Amino acid sequence: MALVPGTSPSGGVILYTSMGEVEVELYWNHAPRTCMNFFELAKRSYYDNTLFHRIVTNFVIQGGDPTGTGRGGESIYGPTFEDEIHPGLKHTGAGILSMANSGPDSNGSQFFITLSPQPSLDGKHAIFGRVKRGMKVVQKIGSVATNAQDKPIQDLKVLRASTALAADSHLGL
């Protein structure tokens, strides 16, 4: 699916995790390149069988790294791409979907979902969606035991990610 100037696809992604389903709505109008990256990676099965490699209680669950180390992953645009920080979008509560990065303009494939309001992340991480369904699953993932490096003691995976265009699904975006 090519992103044509002046148009925005509408669709979301369902993450089938080892603890249940999480359906995310994407903010195509606010972060079109970021949404396209996530949507296309999901469509290409890039996220299938990847770990939630970082879980910080009452903060975030993080995944999207095919190496499972927190140091891997690439975007559909190349190794990294620029931030799409929208001033009207804030990390105001649980269920906000954002890009994980190692600094400005270093987005790849890694993403996180907030477990609570996180205003300290505003302006540093591109928000590109929210959990539409499955927040209890996100909370369950966020409550697992971790080691000192925030890695879950048990493997928690995105078993499969599937895309759905709004017209083809119940997403209604």
Average pLDDT of the segment spanning 53-79: 97
Cα–Cα distance for residue pair 70/77, rounded to 1 Å = 19
Please confirm, yes or no, whether 81 is among the known catalytic residues: no
Q: How far apart are CA 120 and CA 102, in angstroms?
A: 15
What percent of the chain has a predicted confidence (pLDDT) above 90?
88
Residue owning tokens 């490699």: 53
Among 37, 62, 110, 118, the active-site one is 62
Catalytic annotation present for 125: yes
Active site residue 101: yes
Average confidence (pLDDT) over 51-69: 98
pLDDT recorded at residue 112: 99
Which residue is catalytic, options 121, 159, 165, 173? 121
Per-residue pLDDT tens for 84-110?
A: 999 999 999 999 999 999 999 999 999
Which residue of the set 38, 81, 112, 128 is catalytic?
112
Query: 155-164, pLDDT tens digit by residue?
Result: 999 999 999 8
Choose, from 37, 101, 107, 110, the residue flagged as catalytic: 101
Note the CATH architecture for domain 12-168: Beta Barrel (2.40)
Mean pLDDT of 75-90: 97
171 touches 25 (CB < 8 A): yes
User: Is residue 59 annotated as part of the catalytic site, yes or no?
Assistant: yes
In sequence order, what are the residues at sequence separation of 6 or more whose Cβ sits closer than 8 angstroms to the Cβ of residue 70? 53, 54, 62, 110
38 is catalytic: no
Among the options 3, 59, 159, 173, which is catalytic?
59
